Structure 1
Amino acid sequence: MSSAYIDTYYSRTVATSETYPAATGRIQADVCVVGGGLAGLTAALKLARSGRKVVLLEGQRVAWGASGRNGGFVSAGYATGLSSIERRVGKDQAKELFRLSMEGVEIIRRNIDDLDTEDVMPVPGIAKALRYDSRGALQAGCEAQRRAFGLNLRYLPRDEVRSLFVSPKYHEAILDESAFHFHPLNYGRALAREAGRLGASIHENSPVISADLDGAQKTVRTKNAEIAAEHVVFTTGGYTGAVLPALKRAFLPIATYVLLTEDAPELVQSAIRTRAAILDDRRAGDYYRLVDDGSRILWGGRITTRTTDPRDIATLLRREMVTTYPQLAALKVEIAWSGLMAYARHLMPQIGQLRPGVWYCTAFGGHGINTTAIGGTVIAQGITGESDRYRLFAPFGLVWNGGILGRAAAQLTYWSYQATDVAKEFRSR
């Protein structure tokens, strides 16, 4: 029997009900993809389009983890800023990486168009809003990015910001009109359907229990199957097991939380008067958007190294929402959920080749959807020999996560971000 998705807005509005059988028997393939999130599905689809025989193993359901329960934001960039990337790799490679992130947005847009699936429901526009006055820095940064990368950005001064987001908290914003937000679970399932149509074998409820990866021919085992393949691609995220220890040691599982409000269109419109999604620019900030034709809010925020769900997820997030929009004090929460993301210490995705024929593609926390598209694409290109662009990520490899101390340091860093954000807001009052 197939395991269920956890209860989220996305699982409640999933478009189709197809399932995929667990893997059984001895299977020969060109490529075995371990992990059925957006990165693994993107890689499987691209490899299937190139004529490779692909087997994808998912321990739960397609897009069951963070891939199918996130905020649904698709925009260029990474979890860390361009200046941090420049310090590690130099300006030229940093620009190449950023352009690759722009390509990631277009990969997803193109897949949506090609798959012709209305249930993905893309909506244009993501606004990055500030809770303090940057004194011209935000507008200057907007102009610089527009000149350097041709991004379709528009600066919003305070009056315009507060007409769209009716909150005294916001001072200014940048609207990225080439970014969009959508239904990630329906998108992931559409990728799986198309990969399957092209010949890829998709298997749910097939967790990998062991792997022999040293020879030219790799062997991956589940409870009831043995897959032999020339290439194995690990695209697991925050729920990664211990089959590939180097991968599990290289990132931290970080939890984030999301809520869905009740259906109350008039109340919702009293606060948010745009269909663009809103990304709070605080490092410890919120992200939210309207769903169901503007009648509900999907609100996400807070991160923690605690991997079990707090009992008061809804209370925690609702407090943030009402603090931002006091007029929503009567708005009830219908459901709240959480999910684990994978974060590397350098805050970049981990994309590359561990040894001949063994590939990794993970750590998408903080900017997941765009970077899953990049990762799945460049790994598939590396396997087919189409390009070696995966090497651009070599400086951001499988760095040890620090273990328990690393988790404590991540939580302390998050709290320090919160303190810095509060100080900035206070100075702008």
Structure 2
Amino acid sequence: MSASYIDCYYSRTLDTSEIYPSANGRIEADICIVGGGLAGLTAALTLARYGRSVVLLETRRIAWGASGRNGGFVSAGYATGLAQIERRVGAAGAKELYRLSMEGVEIMRRNIADLDIKSAHPVAGIAKALRYDSRGALRASSDKLRRDFGLNLRYLSGDETREMFASPKYREAVLDEGAFHFHPLNYGRALAREAARLGVSIYENSSVMSARLDQPRKVLRTADAEISAAQVLFTTGGYTDGVLPELRSAYLPIATYVLLSEHAPELVQSAIRTSAAVLDDRRAGDYYRAVDGGSRILWGGRITTRTTDPRDIAAMLRREMVTTYPQLADLKVDVAWSGLMSYARHLMPQIGQLKPGVWFCTAFGGHGMNTTAIGGTVIAEGIAGASDRYRLFEPFGLVWNGGIFGKAAAQLTYWTYQATDAAREYRSR
């Protein structure tokens, strides 16, 4: 049976209705990519531009998972901070990695422009907002990022912040005017169209059931097809199954939740008075933006290690929204949904070569838009022999996820973040 997109804002506003066939028969290619999210699509498009023959297999639909139903935020950085990266790779290595994340933003911006993806609806600006007084730390850190990397950052005082985001909660913010937010599902589908135009064979509803990866020609089997390729790239995320056990045991599936409000322009604009998106600085915080010309709110937040949806997603998120903006007490929810992201324990992407001819590019949870773009690009360069930039990620390899204890630790860490955030906010009252 053909899988369909889940009901969410993005699936309701698709730009086209094309469906790719399921894989059937014997298929040969230079490279087989497993996973049709943004990383796999970026790699497929890059490899096609290098003249390679590429087959892409997707279990459900193109960008069906977290790639097509996230917050739509595109900005530099990773799920972990620059200081943590420096501890692992040193100051010089951390700067190289951060510049790669900036390149990821530009790859996406360039794709939208070059492929004329109007349906991606990019909108400039993402603000990081604080619920406490950082006593100069926020301004200092943004000044350093501006000096070191040339980011277009603007510090906002409390009054400036509340003028844009009419909430009593926020004390200060930094606006990244070089970042943007957009429609990720339409973007992903546009990448697929361009890849297919360049000769990539894309197959939806084609789950890989087994893989023989130890011979010069790798063989993957779906229900109705056998694919032979010299190289295989796994770009699966939070829905990774057990075909490649090394990947399955190296990531944690983490759920996040999103709602779309009803159409209520005046009510929405009484709270959010800017086209910029908002990223609440709390580690256990929210991310949200006005969509449809400022007439609705797309609000995301919360993370859990549960892989099934709680029954009260809409009510849970709505409480967060109304606590932040009391004037939205009468704003109703139109639809709410969830998605699984993949996180490594070190909170960095996992990008590299597992064995000759077997590559991986995954674990983009927490900062997936720029990292899928640069990850898909550098791994494709590595496969094509065009560069070895993917090696910059080698210090962040396939670390064991800890099994059930890892999931428990991740959930406990999140609850600790919530408590810490609440205490810091209370002290700033």
TM-score bucket of the superposed structures, by smaller chain: over 0.9
Q: Is the 8 A contact 1:351 1:375 kept in 2?
A: yes
Provide, for residues 324-347 of structure 1, a one-character-per-residue CA deviation record: whole Å limited to 9, x for no partner.
Answer: 000000000000000000000000
Match for residue 382 of structure 1? 382
Residue of structure 1 equivalent to 2:260: 260
SS in 2 for 1:90: helix
Offset, 1:49? 1.0
> Once the two structures are superposed, what CA deviation does each residue of 1:307-337 show, in whole Å capped at 9, x if it has no partner?
1000000000000000000000000000000
Give structure 1 regions of 4+ aligned residues with deviation exceeding 4 angstroms.
Answer: none
Partner of 2:62: 62
Structure 2 residue matching 1:318: 3-state secondary structure: helix
Q: Look up the SS of the partner of 2:271 in the other structure.
A: coil
CA contact (8 A) 1:35 1:57 kept: yes
- Residues 106-127 of structure 1: CA distance to partner in whole angstroms, max 9, x if unpaired? 0000110111021000000000
Q: What is the CA-CA distance between 1:142 and the residue it aligns to?
A: 0.7
Q: CA–CA distance in 1 between the matches of 2:388 and 2:313?
A: 43
Contact 1:2 1:19 survives alignment (8 Å): no
Q: Which amino acid aligns with 2:197?
A: R
Q: Does the CA-based 8 Å contact 1:350-1:397 persist in structure 2?
A: yes
Conservation of the 8 A alpha-carbon contact between 1:10 and 1:185: yes
Residue equivalent to 2:279: 279
Q: Name the residue aligned to 1:162.
A: 162
1:141 aligned residue: 141
For 1:41, the aligned partner's letter is L
Which residue of the partner structure matches residue 298 of structure 1? 298
Name 2:100's counterpart in structure 1: 100
* Distance in structure 2 (CA, Å) of the matches to 1:184 and 1:367: 13
Q: Does the 8 Å contact 1:124/1:179 carry over to 2?
A: yes
CA distance in 1, matches of 2:352, 2:131: 37
Distance 1:262 1:96 in 2: 43
- Unpaired runs of 5+ residues, structure 1, are none
Give the partner amino acid of 1:201. Answer: S
Q: What is the aligned partner in structure 2 of residue 240 from structure 1? A: 240
Output aligned runs, 1:354-365, within 5 Å: 354-365=354-365
Residue in 2 aligned with 1:185? Answer: 185
Give the match for residue 352 of structure 1: 352
1:75 — aligned with what?
A: 75
C-alpha separation between the residues in 2 aligned to 1:88 and 1:142? 22
Q: Corresponding residue for 1:405?
A: 405
| Alignment-derived partner of residue 122 in structure 2 | 122
Matched residue SS, 2:71: coil
CA contact under 8 A between 1:65 and 1:340: conserved in structure 2?
Answer: yes
Q: Are positions 1:3 and 2:3 aligned together?
A: yes
Amino acid at match of 2:22: A
8 Å Cα contact 1:29/1:229 also seen in 2: yes
Question: TM-score, length-normalised on structure 1?
Answer: 1.00
Asked if 2 retains the 8 angstrom alpha-carbon contact of 1:351 and 1:390, the reply is yes
- Give the percent of matched residue pairs that are identical in Structure 1 and Structure 2: 78
Structure 2 counterpart of 1:263, which letter? H
Equivalent-residue separation in structure 1 for 2:28 and 2:362 (angstroms)? 25
Following superposition of structure 1 onto structure 2, how do residues 168-179 of structure 1 map, counting pairs within 5 Å?
A: 168-179=168-179
| Residues matched between the structures, number | 429
Which letter maps to 1:287? Y
- Does structure 1 residue 423 correspond to structure 2 residue 418? no
